[in-house]
Structure formats: structure tokens, C-alpha cells
Homo-oligomer: A and B are copies of this chain.
Amino acid sequence: MAQVMSNKQVLLRDFVNGRSPTESDMYVTTNSISLKVPPQDSNAVLVKNLYLSCDPMMRFLIMKSDQRMSKYIYPSPGSPICGYGVAKVLDSSHPEFKEGDLVWGLTRWEEYSLLPNPESLIKIHHTDVPLSYYTGILGMAGKTAYAGFFEVCRPKKGEYVFVSAASGAVGQLVGQFAKLAGCYVVGSAGSKEKVDLLKNKIGFDEAFNYKEEHDLDAALKRYFPQGIDVYFEHVGGKLLDAVLLNMREHGRMAMCGMISQYNLPEPQGIKNVMQIIFKRLHIHGFTHRDYDHIVPEYYEFVLPYIRQGKLVYVEDIVEGLENGPAALVGLFNGRNVGKQVVALAGH
């Protein structure tokens, strides 16, 4: 007979539209779950979640919208928050997974999850690095930074690179990749602590606190008197408008997020779009979801740097599923320093 366990969960109370999510939009409850895949679920896995990833894109999953992104799971009110995580397979009826496998991919915010479509899960083969890295540098964030910087931006040695939200899960990697590519890289972030981290630990050439700049255009002109060749966009809004004014001819922008806009009732208008024509810019929206094929190449590139200590990855790990809602909400206030992770009991 299957073991039945108590299962702590973080459930969505109701959809959140046009405002910042708060902790009270979620609630923690305890349910029970059988630790065996039910016989009728022929391709499911039952996992114990070890680490959960807090990502800005999760904002879209808890929003009522007819615009749904492929590959994601959208929680309905009363069901667990969905997102990326690292988990251990406890039982499987799927031919590709077996008990004891470590995996990363889309899971739910609960201690144990029955995942009916585990095809999107990726098996973890390298365990000599921290397992939490599979929520970040070896997970979606790493894939986003690698594909976005090398495939989308196609940087050339000596180019000028600007990264917004630079100390975040993706930004800190883009900065380090830019240095590896021989570029000059400046990052923006929202506190002195983050700016110090960017300059002293992560290795950006320069960094600034956008909250202390009244005139973002002037700030960019100070850090990029020659202009910007490559912009890795996470923020949107006024910063994007100022960046447009400072791009060089034939500059490239990789856009994978606009966190400043997610919680507004209506997005801010971008006024300097004519710069796209004047400067002959290339702007590419992209998502890591289109780059699954790049993971083996990326791991071959990144794992040696991690093992040799030549890439750092700053994580902000909170312990306990019950602290998940505050961690997730904190993303949108810039509370986290580095990649925000929730570690579950027994990780």
C-alpha cells in the first residue's frame, strides 16, 4: 500500500492583475498525498521538491489573461503556484525517469508533486555542483543568459554592453559572459549593496544604482560616452527609453523581460522608438523556451568555469516553503540579492 504523506502547499488565492502581488495573494495549507504514481497515470512522476525557483515570469502565471505562453503550467485559484524547481523522483510510470533521479524543470510549490507531463523535466547528471544551481546558473536563468547573450546579441570583442537588473539571476551571468567575450560591461541595479556586488564580486567594469539617478539618459551617457552596442533588457519602461537614446548604430537588444512593467495597470509608453530606425537597431524578443537544444552546449561551456571558480553565482536562498510567498513577492521590490531560491526541508 502506498505511503500517504502530509503535503505542505502554497496555493494561489486569486488571479492578480494590474498591481503588485502580495503575500496574501497566496496561502499555505497542508494536504496529503500518496507517494506512488496512481496506476491510471501511465506517464507521470511523483517527486519530492528540493529547491523552488522564484522568477519574474511567474508573474504571468498568476495573472488572468488570454495570452498564455507555451510550455508553462497556469495555476487556477486554489491550486499550487507553478514554477521551476529541482526535485527528486520518488516514483515513476514514465519510461525516461526512475526512482532516485534528480531532475529540474517545471513543478509546483508543494513538498511533493505528482507531475503528469514530465517530458519537460531535465535529468541532472552533474551533482558535484550545488543542486540549487539548477534553479539558476544551470537552469532557466543560465539558458536565458547564454542564449540571449551569445545567440541573440552576437557580441564582438571590445563592444560596450549594458545589463539592467544586473545582479539578478540572469544579469549577473550576462555580465560575466560579456567579460569572457572581451566586452566592456556596465550593470544597473537598485541598491548600493547590489552595485558593490556587481563591481567587487561579479566583475562588472562599472555599475550604478538606477534609483539614485534622476536622469537615466545622463547616467548612461556618463558610463557609455561612446554609446551602447548590446543591451540585455530585463526592465523596460523609462530605462528602456533612456537606453534607446544611447544605442550605437547597428546595436542589438535582447529582450527577455520588463519587470518594471509587470505590476502596472497599464504599461508605460516608450517614446524613443524612432531611434530603432536612426540607429538601425536589431531588437529580438526571446525566451529560453526556444533554446532547449542549447543546453548540452551550454553545460559544456559553463561547467568547467564553475568548477574552476571562474564564474561566480550569487544566490539568495530562503529556507522553508512557508517563506516562499515573501520571497516571490520580494522579486518585484528588488528585495533579493542574486538568484532567489526557496529551499525545502530535506533538500
A residues engaging B (CB < 8 A)?
Answer: 67, 69, 236, 240, 255-258, 261, 266-287, 290
- CB–CB B282/A255 < 8 A: no
Apart from the given pairs A261-B274, A266-B271, 11 other A-B contacts in the complex at a CB distance below 8 Å: A236-B274, A240-B273, A255-B276, A256-B277, A267-B272, A270-B271, A277-B286, A277-B287, A278-B285, A280-B285, A283-B284
> Complex Cα distance A258/B284, Å?
20
- CB–CB B290/A286 < 8 A: no
**Chain B positions within 8 Å of A287 at CB level:** 277, 280
Closest 4 CB pairs of A and B: A269-B269, A276-B285, A277-B285, A283-B283
Cβ 8 A contact of A273, one of B236, B256, B275, B278: B236
> Complex Cα distance A282/B153, Å?
12
Shortest distance from the beta carbon of A217 to any chain B beta carbon, whole Å:
13
Shortest distance from the beta carbon of A140 to any chain B beta carbon, whole Å:
14
> Complex Cα distance A270/B283, Å?
15
The contact sample of 14 A-B pairs, CB cut-off 8 A, is: A236-B274, A258-B274, A266-B271, A268-B271, A276-B285, A277-B286, A277-B287, A279-B285, A280-B286, A280-B287, A281-B284, A281-B285, A282-B284, A282-B285
> Complex Cα distance A266/B271, Å?
8
Q: Assuming A268-B269, A269-B268, A269-B269, is B276 touching A283 (CB within 8 A)?
A: yes
**Chain B positions within 8 Å of A282 at CB level:** 282-285
Q: Assuming A282-B282, A282-B284, A284-B282, is B277 touching A255 (CB within 8 A)?
A: yes
- CB–CB A280/B290 < 8 A: yes
Residue of B nearest to A262 (CB): B274
> Complex Cα distance A268/B274, Å?
10
- CB–CB B269/A271 < 8 A: yes
> Complex Cα distance A273/B275, Å?
14
**Chain B positions within 8 Å of A273 at CB level:** 236, 240, 258, 267, 270
Residue picked from A279, A282, A290, most chain B C-beta under 10 Å: A282
Shortest distance from the beta carbon of A239 to any chain B beta carbon, whole Å:
12
**Chain B positions within 8 Å of A69 at CB level:** 278
Residue of B nearest to A280 (CB): B285
> Complex Cα distance A278/B289, Å?
11
**Chain B positions within 8 Å of A284 at CB level:** 280-283
